[in-house]
Every structure is written in structure tokens, then in C-alpha cells.
A and B are shown apart, each in its own frame.
Chain A
Amino acid sequence: MEKKSLRTAYGEALVEMGKTNPDIVVLEADLGKSTMSCLFKDAYPERYFEMGIAEQSMASTAAGLALSGKVPFYSTFAVFAFGRAYDQIRCGIAIPNANVKICGSSCGFSDFGDGKTHQSIEDANVMRMIPHMIVLNPCDAVETRKMMRAMAAYDGPVYIRINRNDLPVYTAEEGDYEIGRMSRIVAGADLVIFATGSMVWKSVEAAELLKAEGISAEVVNVSTLKPLAKEEILKYVAGKKAIVTAEEATKLGGLGSAIAELLIGEIALPFERVGVDDAFGTSAHSYAELLETYGLTERHIAAAAKKALKR
């Protein structure tokens, strides 16, 4: 399976959109070579603002640009993009529905060496809690590129979560991304796995493992974490015997919680969540080691599926 960088897709999409939309502007806080917003800097230096290592100022400056008719995208590591600038996002961007696009890069455990201060397990979850905020979590580079166009077309605040490491590419090139739509990656009959971001491919691999044991698992890519449409979820749940969710994030307030909330009073099915138990990350020599340690592999997803089906 070919792997591609979502960060590069992010930077290239900015450049591509900047060509036709002169209102697109980009802000960065001394991590442009990592988030890949540097590609936009090279193409349109006059529309690129290096804010210094000043994430709060960057968020509020983006608000000002948006309130003046521009379409600002700002990026830095996810922890700083959402966390350092939380109140600036809440007050200056979300309340006024300012058209600011926030990119949280190096999300989850993907910055494996830097440790807990840099590993963001709660960014998307926290952003979900803010009214007006759209939350996106692409699973591969192709989806990232399509999502970027949808973000620019949408008028309002959007948070996008980008993995640092190259991930397998498997979503379709054709068609446009529609915010709020889920997509079926693998069809199955016994249970449905709702997965997001890096965990979508792990779920596809889990479905393979389960198939070998005679279990037919459906895998649904939930790349819009907010808004989540109840009808969409019910559509995929219909006829299944169990539900599993998988996310590279704390279980608290994430995809699993969100789906469970929507299903309360609607349907009662065995339900298992794969995600991070309320704990910070740690340094490691590889991303894979951390996914293993925190229970985020295809084996963990398959085990969760079997556990749910046994009930």
C-alpha cells in the first residue's frame, strides 16, 4: 500500500487554492517546515504571515483577517493550535463564527519522540465541544486534499487534524468531499466499525483479521467528527449485531462518545470503543510502538469487535 504525507497534501492544497482564490491567507508560528504551510510561503509570500512563536496572537490575528473578508488558514502542532490558543479560538473565532481554518498538525501520537507535551490526544475532542466549530479528521492524503477545498468553500470556523507520519492512501480521487458525510470503506454484515483518521486503515486491517475468523465487519470512515449525523450512523448500524469505534484520541468526548450519545434512546447494541484511556502520551522511538502501547492497532480493534459480538 502506497503511503503519502497528509502534511504535504495540506501544503499543496493551500497552494492550489491560493492560485484561484486571492483571499486565502496563511499564518504560521515557526513550524511551517513541519506543517508544510511553507509551500504556500514559497508560492505567495505576500499572503503568508509568520507570526513568530505566538499561537494566541496567531489565532486572534486570523480572526481579524476573517472578519475583514479573508479566508485565513493557520497551522502549528495540534497541541498548540487548539490548546495554547483555546480562549482566542472560543472568543475571537467561534462565537462570531469567524471564517478561520485551524490546522492541528502532528496530532495524536504521531510526534512520537517529543513526548506528552507534544502528543495531542484531546484536540479534536475539545474542539468538538465548542459551538460553531466543524471538526475534520482525514484518513489519508487524498481525503486531506479534498477536505481542504470543502473547508475553504464552507463559511465558518473549521478545525482539521493532521497526522505527522505518512499514511496509506486508499480513498477515491474522484468526487468532492462533503462535510458531514461518512463513507463506507469495507462492506460487512455482522458489525460496524466507525473509525476516524489513522484508525480507519487499522480498522480495514482489523476487518481482514476478522474475516479470517469468519466475521464480517463493515468499516465506516467518519472523517467529519462534527457535525455527526444521526441518520447516517443509523443507516450503517441497521442490521448489525455490534458497534465498535476507533480513534487515535482519548476516549473521553471523542468519536466513540459522540456516537454513543447519538444512539441513546435509539438503539441498544453491544458497543466497544478503541481509543486512549485517560492518560498522557510518552516518548518512544517509533509511532508504531506508541500505537501498540496505547492499544491502537488492528489487533486491538479486532479484539474489541469479538468482545462486542460475544455479548
Chain B
Amino acid sequence: MADQALIKDLEAKAVQLRCNVLEMIGIGKAGHWGGSASLAEAMAVLYFHVMNVDAKAPKAPDRDRLLLSKGHGALIQYAALCELGYFPREEMQRVKSLNGLLQGHPDLSIPGVEAVTGSLGQGLSIGVGMALALRLDKKASRVYVVMGDGEQSEGQLWEAAMAASNFKLDNLTAFLDWNKIQATGRTEDVFKIPDLDKKWASFGWEVFSVDGHDVEKLLAAVDKAKAVKGRPTLVILDTVKGKGVSFAENTPAYHNGTFDEARFTLAMAELEARKAALAAQKEMV
């Protein structure tokens, strides 16, 4: 049984990350809410409990690495990096603006970002390179790569999948954000890819699925992945695209959508209410 206080903390962090994302998208500007929100719990667990990272030493050789192969989810990573102190909160206000630090997609100019991504399908290969380098350097650090489900149609991911198992990269854990929606609609309608779990397993990966919004189960899944020897691990996150804002959940329009003032206010109110509820629950613990 995991520590209940820790779980409540991480749940609250996830909501805070969603608030940060919404703040960055703001009113009347397009932003990738859907694929950012679906990752909030996974990011909270990784950045605030699992990973060995330090905002004061963003290039420390022993750090763990996290890469968004689905680079358009950048806002959720920025949300976490900001909470950890990698850059001042004001940068969130200047996101995607001329001369702002935070770019539309992950860029190496941003402290805490490990690779340039945004062109889908490339992150896992970059992660393989990093995992190989860490092994050569005899580091215990781990590499975490986050992919999308729509992204699974990029052939390069499968090239990387074969490489990772060939090289027996047990210091590499990939996450598949199985939120069932891609840019133009439901993956089921746009481009079906059945049996993702079996596909990855047949490529030589250890595969398990977990409710991507259940912090306790996420913690267990990451621990389990760490214990796997001689092969890379894929954790399939069963998630809801746009999670946390009711009207934006499971809605393709919020893949890269816009909030008008009324919807923004409503969305923020829902997140704040969730925050308050979690705080009350924490009191009980």
C-alpha cells in the first residue's frame, strides 16, 4: 500500500499542472489542451516522485531524462518544469510569444527539456541513443519517453522499438498515452491500430497497461518497469484526452483548441473545485 499522503500530494500536483497548462493556453489562443491534460498524472508521478532531477543542476550527468516524443504535449512538461523551478512563472505568461522562453514545441533552449521534438515519431530513437550513452557511461539514470497513440503510425517508432529490444535497454521506459483521439478525430476512425500491447510485446518489450489517471497504480507501474531486466518496458496509459475539464474531455476539437472567456472561466473553476476537493481529502488522511 503506497503512502496515502504521497498519493494525495501527487493528485494535487496533477491538478496544479492542468491549471498551469490552462493558464498558458489562455483565452482566444490555440493550444494543445487535450494531449497535455491526459498526461497530468503521469507527469506528476514522474517529475515529482520518480525521477532524479534537480532544477538547480538541469544538466547534471546523473539525472533521469524525460522526452516527449509527442512534442505537442509540451505545455504539460513546461507546467511541471515551472513548478520545479526550472524557470520563473512569468515565462508561462509569455509562452509561444516572440522572445518568450517557452516555444510551441520542446526546444533545447528551455531548461529541463532534453530534446527537440514536435515532428512526431522521433523521440523514442533519441531516447534509445540516450539510454545507450548512459549505459556506456555506467550511469544508473533512466530514460522516459512519452508517445501518443496517433503517433504510433509513425514507422520510425517501430524502428526504435526494434533497436531498443535488440540493445536490451532496460534503462528505457516508454509511455503510450492511449487517449484514443488524434489530430483529426478518434484513432478508431482516423487510423486504426489494434492490439498495440501485443504489437509492442512482439517487438520484444515488456508491456503493461495502467489507468493513466490513477496515481497509485502509476507509481506501482513505474516501480515494476524499473525492476524489469534485459528489455525495455512500455507502460500503456489508459487515459482520457482533455481530462479534468468536462466539456473538453474526449473532444477532438480540444486537440489544439481555443477557450473563449466563458469556457476558460468554466474550465478554471472546474480545476479549482477539484483542487479544493483534494485538499479536503488530504485533511482526512
Contacts and interface: CB of A to CB of B under 8 A. Distances in A.
A69 interface: no
B111 to A, nearest CB: 17
Given A30-B182, A30-B191, A31-B183, A53 B103 contact: no
Interface in A67-107: 79-80, 83-84
A52 B183 contact: no
B184 A115 contact: no
B98 A114 contact: no
Contact of A115 (B29, B30, B105, B155): B105
A80 B107 contact: no
Given A30-B190, A117-B71, A38 B184 contact: yes
Contacts of B71: 117
B202 to A, nearest CB: 19
B118 A113 contact: no
A117 B117 contact: yes
A57 B102 CA distance: 32
A54 B71 CA distance: 16
A282 B183 CA distance: 22
With a 10 A CB-CB cut-off, give which of A51, A54, A57, A289 has the most chain B CB atoms: A54
A53 B102 CA distance: 25
B153 A284 contact: no
A115 B191 contact: no
Contact of B119 (A32, A80, A282): A80
B58 interface: no
Contacts of B116: 117
A31 B183 CA distance: 7
B118 A118 contact: yes
A310 interface: no
Contacts of B105: 114-118
Contacts of A83: 119
Contact of B104 (A33, A38, A80, A283): A283
A289 to B, nearest CB: 5
B235 to A, nearest CB: 21
A283 B71 CA distance: 14
A283 B184 contact: no
A56 interface: yes
B153 A285 contact: no
A166 to B, nearest CB: 16
Contacts of B29: 113, 285
Contact of A117 (B102, B119, B121, B155): B119
A12 interface: no
B96 A52 contact: no
Contact of B103 (A79, A282, A290): A282
Contacts of A283: 95-98, 100, 102-104
B94 to A, nearest CB: 10
A291 B67 CA distance: 31
A172 B183 CA distance: 36
A84 B29 CA distance: 28
A77 to B, nearest CB: 9
Contacts of B117: 117
A50 interface: yes
Contacts of B188: none
Contacts of A290: 98
Contact of A284 (B96, B107, B184): B96
B154 interface: yes
Nearest to B71: A117
Contacts of B154: 53-54
B96 A113 contact: yes
B153 A52 contact: yes
Contacts of B120: 53
Interface of B: 29-30, 71, 95-98, 100, 102-105, 107, 116-121, 150-151, 153-155, 182-184, 190-191, 193
Given A53-B153, A283-B96, 19 more contacts: A30-B150, A30-B153, A30-B183, A30-B190, A51-B153, A52-B150, A52-B191, A52-B193, A54-B154, A115-B103, A115-B104, A116-B103, A116-B105, A116-B107, A117-B119, A282-B98, A283-B95, A283-B104, A285-B98
13 contacts: A30-B153, A30-B190, A32-B184, A53-B121, A53-B182, A53-B191, A56-B155, A113-B104, A114-B105, A115-B107, A117-B118, A284-B97, A285-B97
